[in-house]
Structure 1
């Protein structure tokens, strides 16, 4: 039996047949994979780009994401591999496989650490930041030993993360993913309602429809918004785990397209209403804006609901990113071993090891948001566009059409150029601010 055929056998040991995943379950899992921490930076990109360019950028990147996933699925089912790293190995050898695994691990591990940092900020605050930030639990119950940052994150890890990451099939996460999508909609809905109320109260400023270039914002600063949107749409590390549990490749394409439309609508909604609500005072993390004290009890309650709904959303996104991280780490460390889900001892050791490491990192380095944003943007661009485009251009199976190669060339060129400009601008701004 070929490896590709082996992908279609049950993931769990034993001879009992495993029921195929459903398209609706895949939609929830793909949507949850897409909507992570990136949504919180979307409003800030509208401040930089203006409403119209930001909308066009979201649409363009969503379209290119659909194209890149279709490329990945087609080349996967034309070869013998069952993972993203395996497809890259077929095209570029061991170097391509390791590069993919490293990018997945940088992106996903960075996100898992960031999620715990954000959850800790929401529940218990971050007194070391010097911003006077306090968490929801501390606002409600005062400062107690049990609502300290370390304990709050540990409680989340043991009682929420652990039961979910021990599930061995992605399809098993469809219900938690459905709740995660609902929580994201709640987050957007409350933000939208607050913005509309502020409009009627005359408390909003007119948003910029196009970017305004001045001494503080240069033309090159506009490119720094691109990696933020790219990162927000990057879920390619979960294409294979989700796709191979479906009945046929066309089901995955359908699930991805539905998810992209849903997520693009959610992104633009939170971007527009968040920008309307806070104007040019919008922060790179919109939750910081909601953390400010409100002038009414209802406003304070809505602020807490927004923060908690998104913290709960991240808790339910965590197992999906952990799933692909664990698979890629196992493939890198134990390439000759049988399927991970069939080896309970290896599965549990890797699962617990990743949980402990990410927890210790989140506790030890509570202010690493921008470092991982930088690493996540570079690795996310590779996973989303550069690697799929390179696979099509390499065309080891001889299935690329002329249109495919044109699209792949455009995709790789845009990704490399915009990413290089964004990285250079960020480095220049960082050292410029230091001086």
Structure 2
């Protein structure tokens, strides 16, 4: 009876091809987090970063597997309904809250990139040395215009599968970004080999401003690094791999869907993003080493303010994050409809108004709250760990009745999820409560101790 009801309610025929589903899921995984991975590598070292990256990718893929199994056993392709069938109203609200916080945080980070980068791109195109105060150089106007002109129309599409084309183009923009980062790293290595102790730039030997960032004694890669920022690497990586709110909507629209086919979509998407993340982090780190900033694009901007290639890279990143916002908006709207309008027929008016309200709310956050990226960075990381590790494991333990509770599979699931969660928040609390006070009370002494590099 449950299976029949499941097929009638949620197993409507899908129309998205395998390739389009891979594009959409890959685009959901990839986001602004890719710009912070070089900074994460600089604070962990190459080998430790690779170990952590592979670990989080494997756990993320495993949790997708758990989510797909749970969806079959629980009889729903909607995250909130799985929560409701597992734990009642608290489970439904936990899923709704995690999805909403995670995706609003992600949308805010993307819109912040639009707010701060688009005016700079326009200024560079116009050849202006400084912001002259025109309205089109105001980031607040820029983010509103992009939201109304590009993001909102794409968000009004009825099905997520239609965004496969824009997702493919977004991914190609990030591949271009990766290529430029690789080229800059190669150019830097060539300049170092030609000039010995002088590295005068990434693209030419005439850019002396790079000397402020690069010198031979600082161009030695480190393999293990432990400092006050190392504890934040796991939240950064967890945020970079979160795609679970989009997994079930993409699964529901997959043509000739099956759990095995969706698992292949997930495997290919996560593997592709794993390779892209690793290469981007490695080449960015080998370009700037310890001087890489929390956002890689800002580091390039400080060294090459009017470089043509950099301008194209900034435009590519802007395009990529702009086209990712509609993908992230779909699960929020689905959550709101599931929570407030469950059982009602599809309505275009409701569909449009909810999308407009979500986008307007994010615009207000980006415009009026200057530190929203830091706030939602923490909230997003917390929600990401809930969506990747805690909720799929908890739903699996509750809904999969074919295995006894003390079976090796269920014991393994519970240990993996809660152990990861404990380590994550212990790391954050340790930094905030201990190292933060050490910084304020004995900063000069700590500076000589906290950078233990091998």
- When normalised by structure 2's length, the TM-score is 0.85
Query: Could you tell me which of 95, 102, 115 is aligned with 2:97?
Result: 102
Whether the 8 Å contact between 1:275 and 1:282 is mirrored in structure 2 is yes
Q: Is the 8 A contact 1:65 1:384 kept in 2?
A: yes
Report the Cα distance in structure 1 between the residues aligned to 2:222 and 2:419, rounded to whole angstroms. Answer: 25
Structure 1 distance, partners of 2:419, 2:319, is 35
8 Å CA contact retained: 2:74, 2:399: no
Give the 5 Å matches for 1:115-194.
Answer: 115-124=110-119, 135-141=120-126, 142=128, 143=132, 144-194=134-184
For residue 333 of structure 1, what is the aligned residue in structure 2? 340
CA drift of 1:91 comes to 1.4
The answer to whether the Cα contact below 8 Å between 1:79 and 1:397 also exists between their aligned partners in 2 is: no
Match of 1:199 in 2: 189
Q: Distance in 2 between matches of 1:244 and 1:400?
A: 29
Equivalent-residue separation in structure 2 for 1:322 and 1:87 (angstroms): 20
In structure 1, the residue corresponding to 2:88 is in which secondary structure? Answer: helix
For the residue of structure 2 that corresponds to 1:208, the secondary structure is coil
CA distance in 1, matches of 2:318, 2:431: 28
* Residue aligning to 1:52: 47
Q: Indicate conservation of the 8 Å contact 1:393/1:400, yes or no.
A: no
State how 1:328-367 maps to structure 2 within 5 Å: 328-335=335-342, 337-338=343-344, 342-367=346-371
2:23 matched to which residue of 1?
28
Deviation, 1:263, is 0.2
State the 1:404 CA deviation.
Answer: 2.4
Q: 1:235: which partner in 2?
A: 243
Quick one: structure 1 residues 75 and 283, their matched pair in 2 at CA, closer, same or farther if it must change by over 3 Å? same
CA distance in 2, matches of 1:387, 1:400: 19
Shift of 1:139: 2.9
Query: Following TM superposition, by how much is the alpha carbon of 1:377 offset from its aligned partner in structure 2, in angstroms?
Result: 0.7
Checking the alignment, whether the CA contact within 8 Å between 2:99 and 2:245 is kept in structure 1 is: yes
| Residues 302, 394 of structure 1: alpha-carbon distance in 2 compared, 3 angstrom cutoff | same
How big is the shift at 1:181?
0.9
Provide structure 2 residue ranges, at least 5 long, that are not aligned to the other structure. 193-198, 200-213, 442-454
Flag the 1:303–1:425 CA change in 2: closer, same or farther, 3 A: farther
Pick from 398, 404, 418 the counterpart of residue 423 of structure 2. 418
Q: Provide closer, same or farther for how the CA distance between residues 100 and 430 of structure 1 changes in structure 2, counting only shifts above 3 A.
A: farther
Deviates more, 1:246-255 or 1:378-387: 246-255
> Would you say the 8 A contact 1:223–1:418 is kept in 2?
no
Structure 1 distance, partners of 2:186, 2:323, is 29
CA distance in 2, matches of 1:73, 1:196: 42
Distance 2:15 2:384 in 1: 29
Paired residues in the alignment total: 405
| Distance in 2 (alpha carbons) for counterparts of 1:115 and 1:193 | 25
Cα pair 2:108 2:373 within 8 Å, conserved: no
Q: How far apart are 1:68 and its partner, in Å?
A: 0.6
Structure 2 matches for 1:264-283, cutoff 5 A? 264-283=274-293
C-alpha displacement of 1:403: 4.2
Deviation at 1:4, TM superposition (A): 4.3
The answer for unaligned runs of 5 or more in structure 1 is 11-18, 125-134
* 1:309 match: 316
The answer on whether the counterparts of 1:180 and 1:313 sit within 8 Å (CA) in structure 2 is: yes
Q: Match for 1:66 among 43, 50, 61?
A: 61
